[in-house]
């Protein structure tokens, strides 16, 4: 069985001066980087930690559900 594939939002934050990657399905799971690739790599690590911690504490791990509005059914 493979790991769930969660949607990742990636955007430039002028305020922070870096790229931000966040995972809407995993509450408070986000990371940043100087490049888009770095932000994605960092959020992958954050997701692994989020899921591992949830398992250790017996917490619910949500199924991937988030879809950007452009893919939402009419």
pTM, two decimals, is 0.84
Domain over 9-62 is classified CATH 3.30.160.250: yes
Residue 74 has pLDDT above 60, yes or no: no
What does the DSSP assignment read for 47-72? HHHHHHHHHHTT---PPP----GGGS
DSSP H or E stretch at residue 26:
none
pLDDT tens across 7-30, in order? 999 999 999 999 999 999 999 999
Backbone angles phi, psi at 10, to 5 degrees: -130, 130
Residue 47 has pLDDT above 60, yes or no: yes
Domain ranges for the chain, please list them. 9-62
């Amino acid at each position: 069985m493979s790991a769930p594939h969660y949607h990742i939002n990636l955007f430039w934050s002028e305020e922070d001066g870096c790229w931000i990657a966040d995972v809407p399905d995993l509450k408070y799971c986000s990371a940043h980087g100087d490049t888009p690739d770095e932000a994605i790599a960092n959020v992958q690590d954050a997701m692994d930690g989020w899921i591992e911690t949830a398992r250790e504490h017996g917490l619910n791990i949500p199924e991937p559900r988030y879809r950007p509005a452009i893919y939402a059914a009419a």
